[in-house]
Amino acid sequence: MSAQSPSQQSTSELADIDFKGLVMGLSGAALHHLGETKTQPSNGVLNLPLARQNIEIIAMLSEKTKGNLTLDEEAMIQQILLDLRMRFVEKSKLHSTR
């Protein structure tokens, strides 16, 4: 039995890449930049321009893939956009009043 190197193990354990995974990754990045991720070392760091950029990328993907998504993918991307946009507006208001 041959042992796998750490790089081989991590590569073999990666999930398949699909549209949902891509959108979820961008969503996670947006949440991170909104200071919403509790497990990150930069907890509490707010970077609204980067959050906005990730939200806009998701919106662009939604527009460019219109008519080519499954109903589940379409519902997921619209729900994510709604949630992220609401969080962005809330954080923008809080940040501007300080």
Asked if residue 2 is part of any domain, the answer here is: no
How far apart, in Å, are the Cα atoms of 85 and each of 66, 81, 82? Answer: 19, 6, 5
Range of lowest pLDDT (23-27, 35-39, 41-45, 51-55) = 41-45
Looking at residue 47, the DSSP 8-state letter turns out to be -
Answer whether residue 85 is part of any domain: yes
Q: How far apart are CA 54 and CA 7, in angstroms?
A: 28
Q: pLDDT value at position 10?
A: 58
pTM of the full predicted structure?
0.78
Q: How many domains does the chain have?
A: 1
Q: Is residue 4 part of a domain?
A: no
In a domain, 1, yes or no: no
Inside any domain, residue 81? yes
Range of the domain at 74: 17-96
- 75 touches 22 (CB < 8 A): no
Whether 53 is in a domain gets the answer: yes
With H, G, I as helix, E, B as strand and everything else as coil, classify residue 98.
coil
Contact 38, 83 (CB under 8 A): no
Which pair of structure tokens corresponds to residue 87? 């969080």
Would residue 10 count as lying in a domain?
Answer: no
